[in-house]
Homo-oligomer: A and B are copies of this chain.
Amino acid sequence: MALIVHKYGGTSMGSPERIRNVAKRVAKWARAGHQMVVVPSAMSGETNRLLALAKELAPSKSSAAYNRELDMLAATGEQASSALLAIALQAEGMESVSYAGWQVPIKTNSAFTKARIESIDDDRVRADLAAGKVVVITGFQGVDEEANVTTLGRGGSDTSAVAVAAAMKASECLIYTDVDGVYTTDPRVVPEARRLHTVSFEEMLEMASLGSKVLQIRSVEFAGKYKVPLRVLSSFTPWDIDINEEAKSGTLITFEEDEKMEQAVVSGIAFNRDEAKVSVLGVPDKPGIAYHILGAVADANIEVDVIIQNISKDGKTDFSFTVHRGEYARTVELLNTKVLPSLGAAEVVGDTKICKVSIVGIGMRSHVGVASKMFRSLSEEGINIQMISTSEIKTSVVIDEKYMELAVRALHKAFDLDQPVS
């Protein structure tokens, strides 16, 4: 008998019929002898519906007091879907009870709309499990020290599920979603993309942060930190498929490096076209430049991803970085008005038509020549590289957006990702 956490996304909870299927699936696991904790998202569309109402009432509002109310509002979506799932489980003959974040409690800090989990008290949940109940816990939300409702930000239900699994030392946390696992790259771009049976959490972390939207990145960080075995699998298989088959399906995200994983140098190709490139040209090359430029950007609460500083020439250098495309205009404006005048730099230029393509693989650590193979492959396709950034387990390039699919396909083939694993 193991303690298992299931997490179901909004699409899986999208209608009474689907909620009933989730209940049947969870009941199957419970009847197989497992202690079950289930973390559902809000019914699909519900969070957007609620936030649109808020937007209509206060189009341009932004303050801690406003964000507090947004959290009160948005948290109702998961409270409703959790109660509905408990009701569906009861209708399936299971004893079941649902808890909102504050009832567990899942304690967070007070950063409304993007709170961080600080601790989870599992006494109440354990007592219910011991009494044979299936416990449903609202995803996405918690409670701060002053008993205010908080939410964890978009996709936060993944994080809730992993955090609960970590706190309760669950045997496995199963993330049911609308894809059937993690792929070597997006199958819509490369039809030959393969599902990975296992992927290391570090690779998954890079994949998630690079735009593979399967899991929220914080949930992967959590899983890695607390060594929670995490499985991504499909909620659209029939609920009554064999439980042993289901338990091995999808992709397992592991925190242990076993020998098998050494085989593949590169596990996947990630990509993202959410970014824009900004360059400050003709910057006097003296100590403190990076801080001078990026400090101002950070103070404006703009997140920066890739950062490149080119070598100096004639005492001047060029400094480039990428930001989210939605922050591009604000960033350029900020640099022109606040940074350029005091810096004595020549000019700010930028480009929103870029994309970032990355190869990710834990095997890269011990293999030389991986990056150069990537560059050669892109060169053979005539794709110009604008920026390069590397880490231990990934190499990213920024290229013209129009070459994105071509680059991804070329790299997927170059690293033999379309070949079955022996």
Contact = CB atoms under 8 A, between A and B. Distances in A.
Interface of A: 16, 19-20, 23, 50, 53-54, 56-58, 61, 63, 65-66, 68-70, 72-73, 75-77, 79-80, 82-84, 86-88, 90-91, 95-98, 100, 102-103, 147-149
- What are the 6 tightest A-B residue pairs by CB atom distance, in nearest-first order? A73-B83, A76-B76, A72-B83, A58-B91, A16-B56, A69-B83
Contact of A58 (B50, B56, B70, B90): B90
A100 B72 contact: yes
Contacts of A57: 16, 19-20, 23, 84, 87-88, 91
A63 B94 CA distance: 13
16 contacts: A20-B57, A57-B87, A58-B87, A58-B91, A63-B90, A65-B90, A65-B95, A69-B96, A72-B86, A72-B100, A73-B80, A73-B83, A73-B87, A76-B83, A102-B147, A103-B147
Contacts of A72: 79, 82-83, 86, 98, 100
A70 B80 CA distance: 9
Complex copy number for this chain: 2
Contacts of A77: 76
Given A66-B90, A76-B76, A79-B72, A53 B102 contact: no
Q: Per DSSP, are chain A's interface residues mostly helix, strand or loop, or mixed?
A: helix
A73 B82 CA distance: 8
A65 B66 CA distance: 35
A80 B16 contact: no
Contact of A87 (B54, B84, B98): B54
A231 to B, nearest CB: 27
Residue from A72, A73, A86 whose CB has the most chain B CB atoms within 10 Å: A72
A50 B80 contact: yes
A83 B67 CA distance: 10
A24 to B, nearest CB: 12
Contact of A65 (B56, B96, B148): B96
A39 B289 CA distance: 55
A17 to B, nearest CB: 9
Contacts of A76: 76-77, 79-80, 83
Given A57-B91, A61-B87, 11 more contacts: A16-B53, A16-B56, A16-B57, A53-B80, A65-B97, A69-B90, A69-B97, A73-B79, A73-B83, A73-B87, A75-B79
A366 to B, nearest CB: 52
Contacts of A20: 57
A80 B76 CA distance: 6
Contacts of A23: 57
A50 B91 CA distance: 17
A76 B74 CA distance: 10
B69 A98 contact: yes
B70 A83 contact: yes
Contacts of A68: 97
A45 to B, nearest CB: 13
A100 B79 CA distance: 13
A148 B97 CA distance: 10
A68 B68 CA distance: 26
A97 B68 CA distance: 8
Contacts of A82: 72
A147 B99 CA distance: 10
A54 B88 CA distance: 8
A47 to B, nearest CB: 11
A124 to B, nearest CB: 8
A52 B98 CA distance: 18
A104 to B, nearest CB: 10
